[in-house]
Amino acid sequence: MARPQITQIRHSVDFAQNHRWDLRFTRFPTAVAADSESLNFRCVSSTVPVKTQTPIDVNIRGHHIRVAGVTDSDHTITFSFVEDVSNTVSNVIRSWREAIWESKTGISRPFNELVATIQIIRLNNQDEPIWQYELSDCFLESYTAGDLTGEGGDLIRPEMTLSYNYFTDGAV
């Protein structure tokens, strides 16, 4: 196959860009006091869920082959945010963490009140949906609060790692 020419590249379809996406909570945890739209606005990056194949090794009388096994994901996704002076992201993290396990009492809310359904939607150059990931039964697994430093002028960038049971993906 010949190497691509610049004219072929110029006449190809629009390329999917990594900054054109949207984060939506189609179901937000009822036990968490927050505005889910404010998280979409402050979310600056997201990992993308993937499924991997776990092959099975078969050894029969000296012969070794591999066959397809179970397909599964790692069941976690990480979102990075920028914080503002009203502590929007920090308040969501604290509220979700405390709903899962109250620090002073160890009381936990029912599971159905703790989970979210999340959509990550890739967009084309006209901001129209082209691909969607939907993650079910998401809950806060861990977080980082962001770094404080005496140098530079960067923003505080908290991260949330959420667990989920499964995801689906496909063209919209």
pLDDT along the chain (172 residues), means of 10: 84 86 95 87 95 94 94 96 95 96 96 97 95 97 91 90 97 95
CA distance 172 to 79: 22
CATH topology of domain 16-171: Pnp Oxidase; Chain A (2.30.110)
Domain ranges of the chain: 16-171
CA distance 145 to 166: 26
Segment 51-76, tens digit of pLDDT? 999 999 999 999 999 999 999 999 99
**Helix residue ranges per DSSP H, 57-171:** 88-100, 111-114
Contacts of residue 123, Cβ cutoff 8 Å, sequence gap at least 6:
20, 21, 22, 129, 130
Tell if the pTM clears 0.75, that is, is over it. Answer: yes
What's the token pair of residue 71? 């397909």
